[in-house]
Amino acid sequence: MEPALVALEAGVLRITLNRPDKLNAFNPALHKGLADAMTRAEGEAEVRCLLITGAGRGFCAGQDLGDRDMSVPVIDLGEGLDTRYNPLVRRMRALPKPIVCAVNGVAAGAGANFALACDIVLAARSASFIQAFVKIGLVPDCGGSYFLPRLAGTQRAMALAMTGERLSAEDAERWGLIWKCVDDAQLRAESEKLALQLASGPTRSLGLIKQAMYGSASNDLSTQLDLERDLQREVGKGKDYREGVAAFLEKRKPRFTGQ
Ligand code: LHQ
């Protein structure tokens, strides 16, 4: 069984985490599948949006806890982060294309933070988010200590990390961790609709929107204004801007090519 199902259709690269009996926990094969999918997304112009979800009843339960060699005298968890998780998160954030995540069930540990690394997150009402690390004596990784305080504030981030309490999808929406919580039966249709909309959008513009939004976390206002100017200058030279304005003036829908 392929640990990550990957299929391109109508500009959307659909990635399904596919280890349902382990709630799609990360193992080296799943990491390899995701790394290969990222390489496709980076290299193929036909890919204009990514849509990530999980097979079965869970989204992702984080690191596969049965997969680690606990018999060694000194365990080095930093190595796995350096070689697998951190490059994945860096590539997701740097990808100049939107990544939609459809959280179909529980997202725990690195699985929760992998979801938060995506650009727009939808979740089924029955889904939940758990900073499970503390329950096994670890600290949040996969970007959690960066994303959570910025999305939810330090107090909520701290309590989630220290208690490992389960956060419902509804609260995750209320707290600003995710874009929308939708009824379970609607998750597939809603996330498909969003991904298709983005895949027919002005891809260059969407990529630069990511750069602007993520850049703002570490920039002051003056630096951010300069960044906006630079990005606007760049995107203004593209065909999609001309098409967008022409479509507006001609009172028709724009046909963006992503250039
Ligand atoms: C699992 C897992 C799992 C293996 C469920 N592994 N089998 C860590 C270390 C190294 C380097 C880098 O980073 C990290 C980061 C991390 O991600 S640490 C956090 C790791 N994840 C967890 O601690 C979560 C562990 N899982 C759970 O707490 C529960 O399974 C949750 C709350 C996610 C779901 O609970 P339930 O809905 O009650 O499902 P379940 O516990 O019955 O799980 C279903 C099956 O999936 C079960 O297998 P079985 O053969 O008994 O049916 C679990 O053993 C398996 N599974 N998570 N992470």
Among 21, 23, 77, 86, name the best residue to mutate to test ligand 1's pocket (greatest count of ligand atoms within 8 A of Cβ): 23
pLDDT one-digit tens code per residue, 171-180 = 999 999 999 9
Global pTM exceeds 0.95: yes
Q: What is the pLDDT of residue 160?
A: 98
| Weakly modelled stretches of the chain, pLDDT under 50 | none
The neighbour count for residue 188, using CB atoms within 10 Å, is 15
Among residues 119, 97, 114, 3, the alpha carbon closest in space to that of 44 is found at 97
Q: What is the pLDDT of residue 68?
A: 83
Q: Which helix (H) or strand (E) holds 6?
A: strand 4-9
Closest atom of ligand 1 relative to the 62 alpha carbon: 17
Q: What is the pLDDT of residue 188?
A: 98
Which residues have C-beta atoms less than 6 Å from ligand 1? 22-23, 25, 61-66, 77, 80-81, 85, 106, 108-110, 130, 132-133, 135-136, 138, 141
| Mean of the per-residue pLDDT values of the chain | 97
Distances from the Cα of 236 to the Cα of 188, 232, 247, 248, angstroms? 34, 6, 15, 16
Q: What is the pLDDT of residue 20?
A: 98
3-class DSSP assignment, residue 215: helix
pLDDT one-digit tens code per residue, 111-150 = 999 999 999 999 999 999 999 999 999 999 999 999 999 9
- The domains found in the chain, sorted by start residue, are 4-199 (3.90.226.10), 203-249 (1.10.12)
